[in-house]
Amino acid sequence: MPPSQDPFYAGLGQAVRIGTELLAALIVGGGIGWVVDTYLLATGPWGMVSGLILGSVAGVRNAYRSAQRWPKS
Amino acid sequence: MEDSPLHPFELHNFLSIHLGGLDISLNKAVIMMWVVVGLVTILMIKAGSARQLIPGKLQSLGEILVDFIRGIILDTMGKDGMRFFPLIATLFLFILFCNLIGLIPGSYTVTSQIVVTAVFACVVYGMSVVMGFVLHGAKFLGILVPPGTPGWLLPLMVPIELISQLARPISLAVRLFANMTAGHVILGVLFGLAVSGGLLIGWLPFAFTIAMNGLEVGIAFIQAYIFTVLTCVYLGDAFHLHGSEDHAH
């Protein structure tokens, strides 16, 4: 069963992708902010706050980008 | 009876080997990887050695798999991508067989260890970055600037793009690991309910275990498929530099 021809599997594959796409960017953004706060500059919570905001923006952007590749059914 | 549903994921060394500070002990996961590698190798060699015009069962299976991987590469990267066929086919077959064999009760799912998936993701992503710099030089940094960005937005867009690039290997690794682990935890919990429920009510969660196992076969296939597609997309991004969105379909 080659699922690439099956619209159900292709759609399911796309749907499974987007959730982790959002999460991963948030982890990376928050992580970078945390590292900047604790090790590089003593900027209180602000590095992590802005990192989380940038991360969520990047996550939405990634999700949007992968939705643009949506297979035509 | 195991007290925790995460118990099956713990690894115990069968044979402790330490080589100059390097821990290369044998455990379940290592042995399952050998089994998978051996199985895939034997299957593909046997399927490839027949070479008949009218394929037998094994040859058909091999042809379907190879044609499927070829389809993914052509869809996402175009004809240039065929030079990556050996890498992508190896990744796909290894992950697919790890996922599927892990569903056999008593065996072990190698892809439920985040070390394994993280190494795959780092290899794939590292390769795409290295290849991008080799092919395009400093122009590869243009991947951080989406086409058509006005100049005053650059201080905002570059960090966002940097984060979204760095998120790629993490989402690749976490997706496969989380899906396989979650599926097996659900199976473990349901089976624990079936055992502790006794005959009167235990048949209900047991029936769900069987249904979940069927669903997990689908998940195993889809996760291997997604990992392969995203590998192709990332390699294609480094290869074409902004051109890949048109190549997608």
Q: Rounded CA gap, B121 and B128, in Å?
A: 11
Inter-chain residue contact B71 with A4, CB threshold 8 Å:
yes
Query: ipTM of this model?
Result: 0.78
- What number is the average pLDDT over the span A33-59? 87
- To the nearest whole angstrom, how far is the Cα of A18 from the nearest Cα of chain B? 10
- For helices B28-50 and B85-101, angle between their N-to-C axes, nearest 10 degrees: 120
Between residues B47 and B23, the one the model is more confident about: B47
Q: State residue B246's pLDDT score.
A: 42
Q: Is residue A41 part of a domain?
A: yes
Q: For residue A52, give its domain range.
A: 21-68
Instruction: Evaluate whether residue A12 is within a structural domain.
Output: no
Q: How far is CA B137 from CA B30, B133, B165, B192, B233, in A?
A: 39, 5, 18, 56, 20
Res A69: pLDDT: 67
Give the mean model confidence (pLDDT) for residues A41-68.
Answer: 86
Q: What is the pLDDT of residue B88?
A: 92
| Cα–Cα distance for residue pair B3/A54, rounded to 1 Å | 41
Whether pLDDT at B230 is above 60: yes
The answer as to whether A14 is a domain residue is: no
Residue A36 belongs to a domain: yes
Average pLDDT, integer, range B70-74: 88
Strand ranges inside B177-238, DSSP E: none
> How far away is chain A from the Cα of B203, in angstroms, using its nearest Cα?
30
Tens digits of per-residue pLDDT, B166-199?
Answer: 888 998 999 999 989 988 888 888 888 888 877 8
Would you say A6 and A13 are in contact if contact means Cβ atoms under 8 Å apart?
no
Contact call for residues B230 and B169 (beta carbons, < 8 A)? no
Residue A10 lies in a domain: no
Q: Assess if residue A73 is contained within a domain.
A: no
- A21 and B167 within 8 Å at the Cβ level: the answer is yes
| Residue A54 resides in a domain | yes
Residue A6 within any structural domain of the chain: no
* Residue B230 at interface with chain A, using a CB cutoff of 8 Å: yes
Least confident of A3-12, B143-152, B163-172, B235-244: A3-12
Give the pLDDT mean for B99-106: 86
Chain-chain contact of A16 with B179 (C-beta, under 8 angstroms): yes
Which one is predicted more confidently, B239 or B34?
Answer: B34
Looking at residue B244, its pLDDT comes to: 42
Of A13, A20, A71, the CB nearest to B171: A20
Given this model, what pLDDT does residue B237 score?
A: 83
Within 8 A of A25 by CB-CB distance, chain B residues are 163-164, 167, 171
Does residue A61 carry a pLDDT above 90? no
Handedness of CA B46, B48, B50, B55 (dihedral sign): positive
Which residue among B167, B225, B248 sits closest to A24, beta carbon to beta carbon? Answer: B167
Whether B67 sits inside 8 A of A62 (CB atoms) is: no
Number of domains in chain A: 1
pLDDT at B249 over 50: no
Distance from C-alpha of B130 to C-alpha of A53, rounded to nearest angstrom: 29
Matching residue, tokens 């991508």: B81
Longest dimension (CA), chain B: 70
